[in-house]
């Protein structure tokens, strides 16, 4: 075990030649990608319906893969429950945030600290979350439903942080947010990366997501069509023509 209580075994998360189906319909075709802990931000971008959420759900153990494999910190997750993957240090904040609307901000945060190693340090982690998002401390006794969209996104990220992730995935965190609030969310993503939490960012805001990314992938119609550093992809003809 490492000093933070997680099992050792680097390699982050590797998706290797994965095919995923919904019943008989293939949604993902031979996709490979890597999220290494040495990266600050890894982005997966692509249009609506390209398969971004499907891949993320498979990485979280919420969907089975038909071919290929996914390893999380060195272990094949085929027989893992989603909670095992959280325990290992990979947490996924879904696009709809899935907050508990009638629980307070503090209660929502506490719900995030369910892995054993996170429970033990939850008071300290909550202090860090409040330092990152002072508004959550101001509103700690408010019900989540009374927060603005941007504050709810901060709470969803804060709740994810309470589980002490090594890698935190954000599925379109800018959905439904005003442009200025979206900027704030991207600043948080950058900050988390710099604090040593690798962020796997799924986004339709291609420019932002590539700008922040050490490594990035472009998915279209269920297949990866380009990969490279964020900078390389920003300069590529395909990205320039199709997205910017
Ligand atoms: P968005 O930006 O709209 O969330 P996405 O890139 O995340 O798009 P997915 O939601 O992964 O894309 O969808 C990939 C493909 O799988 C789409 O063709 C979609 O219609 C299909 N799909 C997604 N969820 C299901 C489901 N539960 N049952 C059947 N097909 C699905």
Stretch 10-19: mean pLDDT, rounded?
91
Closest C-alpha residue for ligand 1 atom 1: 48
- Integer CA distances (angstroms), 197 to 38, 51, 80, 168, 237, in order: 9, 24, 23, 7, 31
- Kindly tell me the burial class for residue 73, based on how many C-beta atoms sit within 10 Å of its own C-beta (0-12, 13-18, 19 or more): buried
- Render pLDDT for 174-196 as a digit per residue (tens, 0 to 9): 888 888 989 989 999 999 988 88
Stretch 164-172: mean pLDDT, rounded?
96
CATH superfamily, with its number, for domain 1-89+205-244: P-loop containing nucleotide triphosphate hydrolases (3.40.50.300)
* Ligand 1 in reach of 58 Cβ (< 6 A): no
Closest C-alpha residue for ligand 1 atom 25: 22
Length of the chain: 244
Closest C-alpha residue for ligand 1 atom 20: 49
pLDDT at position 5: 39
Residue ranges of domains in the chain: 1-89+205-244
* Ligand 1 in reach of 174 Cβ (< 6 A): no
Residue of 148, 215, 152, 212 lying closest to 186 (CA atoms): 212
**Which of 7-11, 13-17, 90-94, 236-240 is predicted with the least confidence, judged by mean pLDDT?**
7-11
- DSSP category for residue 7: P
pTM of the predicted model, to two decimals? Answer: 0.92
- Render pLDDT for 31-69 as a digit per residue (tens, 0 to 9): 999 999 999 999 999 999 999 999 999 999 999 999 999
For residue 204, name the pLDDT band (cuts at 50, 70, 90): confident
């Amino acid at each position: 075990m490492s000093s933070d209580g997680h099992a050792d075994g680097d390699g982050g998360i590797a998706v290797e030649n994965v095919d995923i189906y919904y019943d008989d319909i293939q949604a993902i075709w031979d996709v490979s990608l890597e999220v290494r802990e040495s990266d600050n931000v890894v982005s997966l971008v692509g249009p609506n319906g390209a398969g971004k959420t499907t891949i993320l759900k498979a990485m979280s153990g919420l969907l089975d893969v038909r071919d290929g494999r996914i390893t999380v910190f060195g272990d094949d997750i085929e027989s893992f429950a989603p909670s095992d993957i959280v325990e290992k240090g990979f947490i996924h904040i879904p696009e709809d945030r899935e907050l508990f609307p009638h629980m307070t901000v503090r209660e929502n945060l506490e719900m995030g600290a369910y892995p054993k190693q996170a429970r033990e340090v939850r008071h300290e982690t909550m202090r860090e979350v409040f330092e990152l998002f002072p508004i959550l401390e101001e509103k700690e006794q408010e019900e989540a439903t009374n927060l603005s969209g941007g504050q709810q996104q901060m709470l969803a990220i804060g709740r994810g942080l309470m589980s002490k992730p090594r890698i935190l995935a954000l599925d379109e965190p800018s959905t439904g947010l005003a442009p200025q609030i979206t900027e704030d969310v991207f600043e948080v993503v950058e900050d988390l990366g710099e604090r040593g939490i690798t962020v796997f960012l799924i986004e339709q805001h291609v420019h932002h997501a590539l700008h922040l990314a050490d490594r990035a992938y472009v998915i279209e119609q269920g297949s990866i069509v380009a990969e490279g550093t964020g900078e390389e992809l920003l300069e590529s003809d395909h990205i320039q023509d199709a997205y910017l």
